[in-house]
Amino acid sequence: MSKRPAPKAPAKIRGTTLIEVLVTVVIIALGLLGMAGLQSRSHALEFESYQRGQALILLQDMVDRMNNNATAAAGYVTGATPMGTGATDAADCTALASRALADLCEWSKALKGSAELSGSTKQGAAIDGRGCIVSTGTNAYLVSVAWQGMSATFAPVNTCGQNSYSSETTRRVVGAVVVVPDLGAN
């Protein structure tokens, strides 16, 4: 007996393997592009979180300074002039007339990122950090830290750093109310 050759597949079936491979490549490429976008967004959110953490550290620093110098808490009020970016600081904060002024000078430098340098560029804090302290009543003060966020959200109600950034929707603010006891009261 002679062997017969195997029958040939119909022409329409022969090219389907190549089309399946092309569709698979397109699906994998789209998946990889999605992963790259997710990675980019994740990096931006991580940086926003880092800035918020730095702002909270700076906020707590000033709250602690005010609590440690409670008798002179009114001397910490900055009013409409925020500390940090844009503020002029003394070269030597320890030479200032009062502990409150020295604390404000040191806080202003910390808001600018003076604790961490890359060459001569200060970068140890949130982007364009600003700090405000306003009196909210008898022995009560609102301490706030504002900075430039990376993406637009909602404009904060707190006015610290207002109109100082590219957009109000990219301005970020954290704040805390400090109530100082009246140490002279009976």
pLDDT digits (tens, 9 = 90+) for 94-134: 888 899 999 999 999 999 886 665 666 666 678 889 999 99
Query: Residue 44: what pLDDT?
Result: 86
Confidence of residue 24 (pLDDT cuts 50, 70, 90): very high
Spell out where 31-139 has E strands: 83-84, 117-118, 121-122, 130-137
**Helix, strand or coil, per DSSP, at residue 174:** strand
Compute how many other C-beta atoms are within 10 angstroms of the C-beta atom of residue 73. 23
Angle at 133 between CA 127 and CA 136, to 5 degrees: 140
DSSP type of residue 38: H
Q: pLDDT, tens digit, for every residue of 82-99? A: 888 888 888 888 888 899
Tokens of residue 32, six digits? 């990889």
- Under a CB-based contact definition with an 8 Å cutoff, are residues 177 and 140 in contact? yes
Per-residue 3-state assignment (H helix, E strand, C coil) for 157-172:
CCCCCCCCCCCHHHEE
Q: Rounded CA gap, 165 and 177, in Å?
A: 24
Compute how many other C-beta atoms are within 10 angstroms of the C-beta atom of residue 158. 18
Q: 140 - beta bridge partners?
A: 137, 179
Average pLDDT, the chain: 86
Query: Residue 179: what pLDDT?
Result: 92
Confidence of residue 3 (pLDDT cuts 50, 70, 90): confident
Considering Cα of 124, then 143, then 79, then 89, what sign does the dihedral take? Answer: negative
Compute how many other C-beta atoms are within 10 angstroms of the C-beta atom of residue 68. 9
